[in-house]
Amino acid sequence: MKIWIDARVCSNESLYGDFVCELVREFIAQNSQHEIIVYTTENLKLNPKKFFDTITAKKIFEKENFWLMIFFDSHLPHGYKWEYILLLEWLKEVFFPKSQWLHRKLEIRKLKRAIEGSKTVITLDGQTALELNERLNVVEDKISKIHWFFPEYTHALSSPIDIDVKLQHSLRWEYLIYDSWNELHNNFERILKTLQKLKESWVMLYIMILCDATSKDLDIRSKSLEYNVADQVLFLWEVSKDKESEYYGQSLWVIFSSIYESFPFHFSKALSYNCHIFANDIPANSEVMGETISYLDPLSIYNMRDTITQYAKNPKGTDYSSVQSNFSAKKTSDELWRVLGEEK
């Protein structure tokens, strides 16, 4: 039998795109009896987000004698009626939209249509499965949860550059790294407020931003001035891979302030460099990371201040070996095959 995979999301320059690519490779490697056909942006040359491209994709897909199609997120063609399963990253567009009202309505409608027509909806975490059931009225029997994984992060092939980060940037105090986006759910403003509270308590730290999109965000620069911490926020963009190990290795820790995630892909670099992670105590983080990271109260800036102060005085060792062994491409692929009704 034939299995088709629409893997055009692999072309996205994101950790989720990297995750899909690695999963598809492992899924194919474990296959022993099916013919698997993978559609990518390179061989299909169609954008899954463009309406007219989806019509063309539908015509291409329906020429085949299908047994099953696998789609990622809601990018299936309009009017598609063959049997398929849907792997869903999260429901961010439902709860934390960044687009205009009409576009948001259309995105939610497309998502609901994709879920309604699917044979099975696969989620990354228990919270998303619960939200599908309670908020979008998806029956429990239609939802499957499988363990996902952190995509492999490749370090620089050349020798790392030996630098003293604090000396190079004339830093007087320790620094924290922030390497995520500044969308609504990322809630970066809370970090600036916490930095302000730390400053009032005479605990001086820098926040070093290593994300291009966040460093370009004028709102952050404005807020840093408003909270009187502009001299403690460093907008450094994304550093080259031959410098990353020094920037991460010399940091006090990596901090995140997101109040909504499904699987914490954005922890990948910190795990790769074995940096201690501070993140909000939300279901996706605690479900995946267990006791390996330090948790912040997403509702209390004073808790964030006190937790950071305590750790700065008594830093602890970091060990992510249990997380890395619990989550792997092979385990995820095994569970995906089981969802299809086949043991591996």
* Tens-place pLDDT, residues 130-186: 989 888 889 999 999 998 899 987 665 456 678 899 999 999 999 999 999 888 888
82 lies in the same domain as 26: yes
Q: Using the predicted structure, report yes or no on whether residue 199 has a pLDDT greater than 90.
A: yes
Which of 66-70, 117-121, 338-342 ranks highest by mean pLDDT?
117-121
Decide if 232 is inside a domain. yes
Residue found by looking up tokens 């509270």 in the block: 197
333 lies in the same domain as 312: no
267 or 343, which is more confident:
267
Q: How far is CA 123 from CA 190, 195, 213, 290, in A?
A: 28, 35, 27, 19
280 lies in the same domain as 332: no
Closest to 22 (Cα-Cα) out of 115, 126, 149: 149
Residue 233: the pLDDT is: 96
Q: How far is CA 155 from the centre of its chain?
A: 19
184 lies in the same domain as 246: yes
Percent of the chain clearing pLDDT 90 (strictly above): 49
Query: Do residues 91 and 134 lie in contact, with contact meaning Cβ atoms separated by under 8 Å?
Result: no
Mean pLDDT of 78-90: 87
| Burial environment of residue 86 by CB neighbours within 10 A (0 to 12, 13 to 18, 19 or more) | buried
List, in order, residues 6 or more apart from 30 with CB less than 8 Å away.
330, 333, 334, 337, 344
Residue 88: the pLDDT is: 93
Residue 147: the pLDDT is: 85
291 lies in the same domain as 211: yes
Q: Using the predicted structure, report yes or no on whether residue 77 has a pLDDT greater than 90.
A: no
78 lies in the same domain as 118: yes
Decide if 344 is inside a domain. no
Residue 128 has what DSSP assignment? Answer: H
Decide if 159 is inside a domain. no
Mean pLDDT of 245-249: 92
Residue span of the structural domain in which 193 resides: 165-325
316 lies in the same domain as 199: yes
Residue found by looking up tokens 């490779």 in the block: 25
- Over the chain, what is the mean pLDDT? 88
Residue 288: the pLDDT is: 92
Percent of the chain clearing pLDDT 70 (strictly above): 94
5: β partners: 38, 70
Residue 313: the pLDDT is: 85
CATH number (domain holding residue 198): 3.40.50.2000
Q: Using the predicted structure, report yes or no on whether residue 298 has a pLDDT greater than 70.
A: yes
Query: What's the pTM?
Result: 0.88
187 lies in the same domain as 334: no
144 lies in the same domain as 201: no
Residue 343: the pLDDT is: 61
Mean pLDDT of 185-193: 93
138 lies in the same domain as 181: no
Residue 120 has what DSSP assignment? Answer: E
